[in-house]
Amino acid sequence: MKTSFGTELPAPSAIVAATAASLPSEVHTLQRARAFAEPLIACEQLDTGENILAHADAVADILAAIGGSEAMRAAVYLVYASPYLNRPHEVIAKAFGESHAALAIETTKLVQLQRQARAAQEAAPTPSGKAPVSELAASQTENVRKMLLAFSRDLRVVMLRLASRLQTLRYFAQNKQVPEQAIASEALHVFAPLANRLGIWQIKWELEDLAFRFLEPHTYKAIAKLLDEKRTEREDHVERVRLALEQDLLAQGVRASVQGRPKHIYSIVKKMRGKSLDFDQVFDIRALRVVVSTVPDCYTALAHVHAHYSPVPEEFDDYIGKPKPNGYQSLHTVVRDDQGRAFEIQIRTQAMHDHAEHGVAAHWAYKEAGTKGYAGVSASSEYDAKIAVLRQLLAWERDLSGAAEGLFDDRIYVLTPDAAIVELPRGATPVDFAYTVHTSLGHRCRGARVDGAMVTLNTQLQSGQTVEIVASKEGGPSRDWINPELGFLVSHRAKSKVRAWFNALAMEETMARGREAIEKLLQREGKTALKLDDLAVALGLDSAAQLFEAVGKDELSLRAVEMQLKPAEPQPEPDEVFLLRKNRRPQKTPSGGVLVVGVDSLMTQLAKCCRPAPPDEIGGFVTRGKGVSIHRADCADFAHLLRKHPDRVIDVQWGGAPGGEPAVYPVDVAVEALDRQGLLRDISDVFAREKMNVIGVQTQSVKGIAWMTFTVEAVDALRVSRVMASVGDVPGVRVVRRK
């Protein structure tokens, strides 16, 4: 049987389990784990060529050097033995417990996923020139980091991977070999920043220097040569300054620990590139750190340094008086001695030092901000808050097999067939995955394979799975996808993309309906030669498309369009105009419940195009032989009449009904919804429940979209608005408005 490392199983797992079980119970777990793994891995090699047992021994030593517990080191051997067992979870759980078994399986799975991701990135073509990089490709480095932590129900998974990658780079360096570029690149851009975030500085610096050595060997050697040229002189100078400063401060009553700060080649290169400096301009090649007891001692030490050396004013920063956004505190100064040699000094209290080295707000943010990232960056995101929690868990040296549980329960990480990592919300489905990769792929999604097996589109995905979408050449989403009861979509992004597609489809149908109505009207009136854009402008719209939309939505009546097509009526006689404008004072209320300002006893009628009701703002239009037509002030037809016949528009206002009885007004309510069985019944139930009488219903359904117009009787429009809000809560309803 082949393993993930490409070798044959050397022995049945039952024999190994029996060997582990036969070990005396008093033997320490670390020794038991090594004895368990040795017969399985002693003669095997990793794909790098390194002996697996030697690699495991070295990883365990690295973990010991940074304070890893014996249980963590024991886990190393179980992880590397896992691929060589027939039933690894069962065997390891029986011999060492469920916690170690879960750790071994999770770490092995993560190794396989990272290998796939590396292979995909290595094979991917490099974008040329100005070619855009996709959002998915641009997020890969950070997604690999997140995936590392997402798999870390036990933080030891991350610790093991960091130590393993460091040992891999050490192996290549010791054997004077060059690893694959993807291995070094992943170490520099994924593992080293992750170690930085977790506060594991020893691993971080060594990972950076070794990876940089392989990725840019010429630059590495050039900087190393510059450092070596005067190393003895530089170290002697730093040691003299260190001793003198420590003794002088003690003489002033300030107990201080003064230590030299080692500079790493990659750190020097980053600073040279980030600030466009030459090697000689990097002041902190010579560097000291002064750790004192109190904040006043910090400033005493600073005053002493500035009194005995020449400070460089532009290089002084007081991060105690004004801490960095991430909470970092220290005094930074650069001074020169009598020979003009510059060196950097950092001064801080022990508490500040511990906070900077191991605390939640360590200075990883500005160190990772890139070539222009020296302005201070705050770790304020939800993801960084989770990182901060993991940092504390590591510092407290707890048994982390359950402590990190839940930190990343809201996200999963799956792979494309090309091994690109895709971040999704927990519970996401193949449809969510498709929309995350590309909107077009989501629209055309018709099936999915997960780890090579066909699944339904509402299958919930798990971290680590490989997802392949089966797509049609063209087409759109299903309406079932936005039905929450069917569970096809979880991510907000995917839901919005599906809704946008159907909204666009509905708009096309609306405009087609409006165009058809306009073209029929023009044929009937013999105006087919009329330019539609000119007609739209005459009606106060910007284009023919807006005209079709307004008519399709019933926001502009065909009656208004028809009036625009007819020749202008003769202007009213001077006596008639004078009559309409003569006496601008309210008169007695006519029978219609509307006051006509300035004229007694004019017949009024409520316009059917907008059906006004109190307290709507209204206006009046004097018709030929039918009295005054009352419109809502926001009525599209009324706006057209105002533009075409401004002299026939008069002021009107609502008045009381005759005899004090409340008047009842017909009001049209337009509803646009996703058509389904029972939709009309559900909306009608809302009107019935609100005790609102429905006196007419018009319905139309085209390609799954239903348009309905309910004519209801109401005393006032405010009550109608409240009922419309309830109609909007009916499942499937998208738009509710007054016509």
Give me the chain's average pLDDT, please.
77
277-322 per-position pLDDT tens digit: 677 666 557 788 999 999 999 999 999 999 989 998 888 999 999 8
CB atoms inside a 10 Å sphere around CB 66: 15
The residue behind tokens 């799954």 is 704
Range(s) of the domain holding residue 347: 225-378
Q: What is the DSSP letter of 222?
A: H
**Domain termination residue (choose one: 441, 469, 490):** 490
645, 660, 675 - which closes a domain: 660
Asked if pLDDT for residue 548 goes beyond 60, the answer is: yes
pLDDT in tens, 519-544: 888 888 788 788 888 888 877 778 88
Do residues 323 and 340 both lie within one domain? yes
Angle (deg, nearest 10), helices 156-174 and 52-65: 120
The pLDDT score that the predictor gives to residue 454 is: 94
Round to the nearest angstrom and report the end-to-end CA distance of the chain: 73
Judgement on whether residues 317 and 171 belong to the same structural domain of the protein? no
Sheet with strand 733-738: strands edge to edge: 694-702, 705-714, 665-674, 733-738
**How far is it, in rounded angstroms, from Cα 147 to Cα 408?**
10
Indicate which CATH number applies to the domain containing 244.
3.30.460.10
pLDDT at 127 over 50: no
Q: Judge if 594 and 646 occupy the same domain.
A: yes
Note the pLDDT of residue 524.
Answer: 83
Tell me the average pLDDT across 102-107. 82
pLDDT at residue 458 greater than cutoff 90: yes
Same domain assignment for residues 302 and 355: yes
92 and 45 belong to one structural domain: yes
Element (H, E) at 137: helix 135-138
300 and 211 housed in the same domain: no
- For residue 495, being part of any structural domain is answered with no
Considering the domain boundaries, does residue 2 fall inside one? Answer: no
Domain CATH for 175: 1.10.3210.10
Q: Binning pLDDT at 50, 70 and 90, where does residue 443 land?
A: very high
Rounded to two decimals, the pTM is 0.53
pLDDT in tens, 61-97: 998 887 777 888 888 999 999 989 989 989 999 999 8
Given this model, what pLDDT does residue 7 score?
36
Strands (E) across 537-617 are located at: 594-596, 604-606
Same domain for 455 and 551, yes or no, is: no
Q: Is the pLDDT of residue 26 over 50?
A: no
Asked whether residue 416 falls in the same domain as residue 364, the answer is no
Q: CB within 8 A of 546, min separation 6: which ones? A: 536
Residue 390 falls inside a structural domain: no
Report percent pLDDT > 90 for the chain. Answer: 24
Distance CA 209, CA 220 (A): 8
Percent of the chain scored above 70 by pLDDT? 75
More confident residue, 204 or 215: 215
Sign of CA dihedral 18, 21, 23, 27: positive
pLDDT of residue 608: 84
> What number is the average pLDDT over the span 509-528?
84
191 pLDDT tier (thresholds 50, 70, 90):
confident
- Burial degree of 453 (CB within 10 A; 0-12, 13-18, 19+): exposed
CATH number at residue 455: 3.10.20.30
103 & 156 share domain: yes
Q: What confidence score (pLDDT) does residue 661 get? A: 65
Pair 692, 618 in one domain: no
What pLDDT is recorded for position 447?
94
Residues 515, 494: Cα–Cα separation, whole Å: 32
Q: Which of 85, 703, 122, 153 is nearest to 93 (CA)?
A: 85
What is the domain count for the chain? 6
The domain boundary residue, chosen from 537, 565, 593: 565
558 is a domain residue: yes
User: Given phi > 0 = left and psi -120 to 50 = alpha, else beta, which region is 498?
Assistant: alpha
Look up the CATH number of the domain holding residue 713: 3.30.70.260
Question: Could you tell me whether strands 257-260 and 705-714 are parallel, antiparallel, or unpaired per DSSP bridges?
Answer: unpaired
More confident residue, 402 or 209: 209
pLDDT-based confidence at residue 109 (cuts at 50, 70, 90): confident
Q: Determine the pLDDT at residue 616.
A: 87
- Contact in structure between 146 and 383 (CB atoms under 8 Å): yes
- More reliable by pLDDT, 140 or 698: 698
Based on the domain organization, do 87 and 41 belong to the same domain? Answer: yes
C-alpha closest to that of 352 among 302, 264, 289: 289
At residue 35, the pLDDT reads 93
Q: What confidence score (pLDDT) does residue 282 get?
A: 65
**313 part of a folded domain:** yes
- Residue 638, CA distances (Å) to 156, 286, 620, 622, 721 in order: 73, 82, 9, 11, 22
Nearest to 467 by CA among 427, 519, 419, 502: 419
- What confidence score (pLDDT) does residue 396 get? 37
What pLDDT sits at residue 582? Answer: 40
Lowest mean pLDDT: which of 15-29, 185-199, 369-383, 491-505?
Answer: 369-383
Shared domain for 17 and 115, answered yes or no, is yes
What is the pLDDT averaged over residues 590-594? Answer: 52
